[in-house]
A = this chain, B = another copy of it.
Amino acid sequence: MTIDPYSHTPVYVQLADLIRERIESGQLPPGASVGSEMSLSQEHGIGRDAVRMAIALLRSEGLVTTSRPLGTRVRETPPRRKVELAPGASVVARMPSGKERRSLQLDEGVPVLEVRDAEGNVEVFAGDEVELIRPPA
């Protein structure tokens, strides 16, 4: 798999696709490093900007996290706890705002579940920590 600078899809999207595939195939397991910006730039013959944008895209999808000076690693996802959805409740999924993300201490790329119960009370859950359940009849 190589990157084609003449393709109509942006180079940074191509690199993100490539790395995403390696993560989803298990070739890059949770905790594994995806390589430094420098090495990725050199290995694929692309610029620093493209590498950084690719990494930022993967971060925004919740697939990786980056820290100094370890670099970018495949994100380890927490176990999900089951939450029962009450009768008359409704739920929507969306990305948190910046403030919300910081206050809930969510990683980038983690959606939230907004649950509204029959009385109109709203509760927000981290999307990677819960699994909503409607119990069997």
Complex Cα gap A135–B137 (Å)? 12
Which B residues lie within 8 Å of A95 (CB)?
60-63, 109-111
Interface residues of A in 95-131 (CB under 8 A from B): 95-99, 108-113, 118, 127-128, 130-131
Contact among B20, B53, B92, B96 for A56, CB-based, below 8 A: B53
Complex Cα gap A59–B52 (Å)? 16
Q: How large is the interface on A (under 10, 10 to 19, 20 to 34, 35 or more residues)?
A: 35 or more
Complex Cα gap A25–B96 (Å)? 15
A51 at the interface (CB under 8 A from B): no
Contact among B59, B112, B135 for A93, CB-based, below 8 A: B112
A40 at the interface (CB under 8 A from B): no
